[in-house]
C-alpha cells in the first residue's frame, strides 16, 4: 500500500496523472486449476512528485508477492542478450577489467548479462530474489545470491568478496519500493574507483510515445535524468555519463561513481538535464495531456480490433508480457477477442493470462493455427519478433502493432 509520500524524497507533493483502474498483477500467470479462483486486483494510478520530479505509481505491493515466483527470463530475447554482450565487451575494455576484477549485477535474472563476463574469466556475482531464476543462472555458471538487494546485503557482500569494480542494475530501479536503499547499497558495494551502470526506461519516451502499458504494479517508478540525479546525489554518488538508447521503447543508461575523482563528467549529462528543464519535465504541466492521449490510444486500438472481428478475422496475441496485461485490461480486450497468446518463455507456456484468462502457448502455435492477425504485446521487440515470425507472415499472417497510431504490418 502507499503512505501518500514520494518514494524518493518523501514529500507529499504528489499530483494525480493517470488512473488505469483496478488491475490484476501483471505477471501473475494462472494454472488451469486456478481459473475459478478470485484474482486480487489493485488500483493502478500514476502520480508526479513536484518536489523531486519523480513519476511513480501510488501503490506499493510486497516484493515477495511480485518477485519470488517471477517468470520473466531475459535470455528469451535475442535483442536483450546482444545488448548485454555489447555493454560487457565495452566495459571490459574501458575500465579495464581482468581476472582480479569483480562485477556484480543487481536483479541479475537468469545470468543473461553476467555470463559474458564469466566466459572471459572475469569474476561475476549476481543478486536475484526469484529463486527458480537464480537457479537457472547458477546452471549457466553465474554465481547468484537469491536475495533482495539493499545496504545490509551490500555490506555482507563486501565482507565476503570485497568491493565491486562494476555494479550493474538494469531495469531494476523502477521495481524497488526503497529506491534510496538500493542506491545506498550500490554506494556501499562500489569500490572507490569503480563504476555503476544503471538502465531505466526513460520517462520522456513513455510520455511522448504514450507507452502507458509500461505502467504496472512491478514498475513503481519512471525516471527522468532530473529525478535520478536528485536521488543519487542524496547518497554522494555522481552521474558521470548518460546515454539515450532505443531498447525497451526508450532507455536511459547512466554511469555513477563516487564523486568525479579521476572521472570526467561527459557533456551529455548537463545537456540532458538542460533539455529536460527546457521541456518542463520537472513540472506537473508537462504531463497534462498524458491521460487524454492514453484514452485516444485505447479508442484507436479497439476500433481496429473490433473492425477485424466484425469481418470474422481470427486474432491471437504475441507476448505474454506484463505490459500486455496492462494493455489488454485497460483496452477491454480479452478471450472473446484473442484466441490465444504465444510466448517464447517456457515458464509461461501452459499458463493463462491474469484477468483475461487467455491460454499461452509456444510460438509454433502461430504456424499451426495460422490466425489472420497477431496483436503484438511486446512492441518493444517488434523487429526481433517480425524477423522470427517470417514464416507466419509469409503465409499471410499480419501483426497489429499497438501505439497511439496503431499500425498493421
> The domain that contains 296 carries what CATH number?
3.40.50.720
Q: Which pLDDT does position 68 carry in this prediction? A: 46
CA distance 305 to 373: 10
For residues 72 and 211, state if they share a domain.
Answer: yes
Residue 9: inside a domain? no
For residues 253 and 354, state if they share a domain.
Answer: no
Q: Tell me: the pLDDT tens digits for 236-276?
A: 999 999 999 998 889 999 999 997 666 889 999 999 999 99
Strands, E assignment, 25-177: 41-49, 55-57, 103-106, 124-127, 143-145, 164-170
For residues 264 and 296, state if they share a domain.
Answer: no
Please identify, among 221, 248, 279, the residue that sits at the C-terminal boundary of a domain. 279
Cell readout for 367 is 504456424
For residues 397 and 309, state if they share a domain.
Answer: yes
Residue 168: inside a domain? yes
DSSP symbol at 379: G
Average pLDDT score over residue span 216-231 = 95
Q: Tell me: the pLDDT tens digits for 296-305?
A: 999 999 999 9
For residues 313 and 253, state if they share a domain.
Answer: no
Q: What angle do helix axes 268-279 and 225-233 make, rounded to 10 degrees?
A: 120
- What is the end-to-end Cα distance of the chain in Å, rounded? 41
**Around Cβ 100, how many Cβ atoms within 10 Å?**
8
Residue 255: inside a domain? yes
Residue 52: inside a domain? no
The confidence band for 67, taking pLDDT boundaries of 50, 70 and 90, is very low
Secondary structure element (H or E) that encloses residue 207, with its range: helix 203-208
For residues 182 and 312, state if they share a domain.
Answer: no
For residues 216 and 127, state if they share a domain.
Answer: yes
Burial call 11-45: b when 16+ CB within 10 Å, e when fewer: eeebeebbebeebbbbbbbbeeeeeeeeeeeeebb
CA distance 107 to 163: 18
Residue 24: inside a domain? no
For residues 200 and 179, state if they share a domain.
Answer: yes
For residues 265 and 323, state if they share a domain.
Answer: no
Average pLDDT score over residue span 224-239 = 97
Q: Which pLDDT does position 108 carry in this prediction? A: 94
For residues 161 and 227, state if they share a domain.
Answer: yes
Which residues face 49 on adjacent strands? 14
Average pLDDT score over residue span 107-118 = 94
Q: Is the peptide bond before 96 cis (omega within 30 degrees of 0)?
A: yes
For residues 135 and 199, state if they share a domain.
Answer: yes
Coil, helix or strand at residue 40? coil
Burial call 216-243: b when 16+ CB within 10 Å, e when fewer: bbbbbbbbbbbbbbbbbeebebbbbbbe
DSSP symbol at 191: E
Q: Structural domain tally of the chain?
A: 2
CATH assignment at residue 214:
3.40.50.150
Q: How would you classify residue 128: left for phi > 0, otherwise alpha for psi between -120 and 50, otherwise beta?
A: beta
Q: What percent of the chain has pLDDT over 90?
A: 83
This prediction's pTM: 0.92
Please identify, among 229, 259, 279, the residue that sits at the C-terminal boundary of a domain. 279
**Around Cβ 299, how many Cβ atoms within 10 Å?**
10
Residue 51: inside a domain? no
For residues 191 and 243, state if they share a domain.
Answer: yes
Question: Distances from the Cα of 351 to the Cαs of 110, 173, 236, 241, in angstroms?
Answer: 20, 28, 45, 42
Coil, helix or strand at residue 43? strand
CA distance 352 to 211: 24
Please identify, among 255, 279, 303, the residue that sits at the C-terminal boundary of a domain. 279
Backbone φ and ψ of 97, nearest 5°: -110, 150
Cell readout for 128 is 536475484
| Vertex 405 angle, CA 206 and 372, to 5° | 115
Residue 35: inside a domain? no
Q: Which domain holds residue 96?
A: 67-279
pLDDT at residue 203 above 90?
yes
Residue 4: inside a domain? no
Amino acid at each position: 500500500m502507499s503512505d501518500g509520500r514520494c518514494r524518493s524524497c518523501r514529500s507529499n507533493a504528489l499530483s494525480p496523472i493517470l488512473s488505469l483502474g483496478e488491475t490484476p498483477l501483471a505477471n501473475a500467470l494462472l494454472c488451469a486449476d486456478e481459473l475459478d479462483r478470485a484474482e486480487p486486483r489493485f488500483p493502478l494510478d500514476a502520480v508526479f512528485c513536484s518536489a523531486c520530479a519523480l513519476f511513480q505509481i501510488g501503490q506499493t505491493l510486497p516484493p515477495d508477492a511480485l518477485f519470488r515466483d517471477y517468470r520473466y527470463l531475459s535470455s528469451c530475447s535475442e535483442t536483450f542478450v546482444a545488448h548485454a554482450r555489447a555493454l560487457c565487451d565495452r566495459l571490459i575494455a574501458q575500465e579495464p577489467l581482468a581476472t582480479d576484477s569483480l562485477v556484480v549485477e543487481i536483479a541479475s535474472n537468469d545470468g543473461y548479462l553476467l555470463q559474458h563476463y564469466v566466459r572471459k574469466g572475469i569474476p561475476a556475482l549476481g543478486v536475484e530474489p526469484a529463486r527458480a531464476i537464480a537457479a537457472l543462472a547458477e546452471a549457466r555458471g553465474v554465481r547468484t545470491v537469491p536475495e533482495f538487494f539493499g545496504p545490509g546485503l551490500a555490506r555482507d557482500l563486501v565482507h565476503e568478496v570485497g568491493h565491486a569494480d562494476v555494479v550493474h542494475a538494469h531495469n531494476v530501479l523502477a521495481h524497488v519500493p526503497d529506491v534510496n536503499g538500493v542506491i545506498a547499497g550500490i554506494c556501499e558495494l562500489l569500490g572507490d574507483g569503480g563504476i555503476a551502470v544503471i538502465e531505466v526506461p526513460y520517462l520522456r519516451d513513455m510520455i511522448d510515445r504514450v507507452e502507458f502499458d509500461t505502467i504496472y504494479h512491478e514498475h513503481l517508478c519512471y525516471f527522468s535524468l532530473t529525478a535520478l540525479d536528485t536521488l543519487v546525489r542524496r547518497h554522494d554518488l555522481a552521474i558521470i555519463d548518460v546515454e539515450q538508447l532505443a531498447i525497451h521503447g526508450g532507455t536511459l543508461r547512466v554511469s555513477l561513481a563516487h564523486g568525479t575523482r579521476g572521472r570526467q563528467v561527459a557533456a551529455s549529462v548537463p545537456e540532458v538535464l538542460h533539455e529536460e528543464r527546457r521541456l518542463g519535465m520537472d513540472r506537473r504541466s508537462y504531463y497534462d495531456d498524458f491521460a487524454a492521449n492514453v484514452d485516444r490510444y485505447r479508442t484507436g486500438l479497439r476500433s481496429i480490433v473490433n473492425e477485424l472481428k466484425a469481418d470474422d478475422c481470427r486474432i491471437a496475441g504475441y507476448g505474454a508480457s506484463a505490459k500486455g496485461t496492462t494493455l489488454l485490461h485497460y483496452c477491454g480486450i480479452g478471450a472473446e477477442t484473442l484466441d490465444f497468446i504465444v510466448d517464447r518463455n517456457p515458464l509461461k507456456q501452459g499458463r493463462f493470462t491474469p484477468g483475461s484468462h487467455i491460454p499461452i502457448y509456444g510460438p509454433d502455435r502461430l504456424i499451426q493455427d495460422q490466425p489472420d492477425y497477431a496483436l503484438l504485446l511486446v512492441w518493444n521487440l517488434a523487429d526481433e519478433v517480425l524477423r522470427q515470425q517470417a514464416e507466419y507472415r509469409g503465409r499471410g499472417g499480419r501483426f497489429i502493432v499497438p501505439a497511439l497510431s496503431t499500425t498493421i504490418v
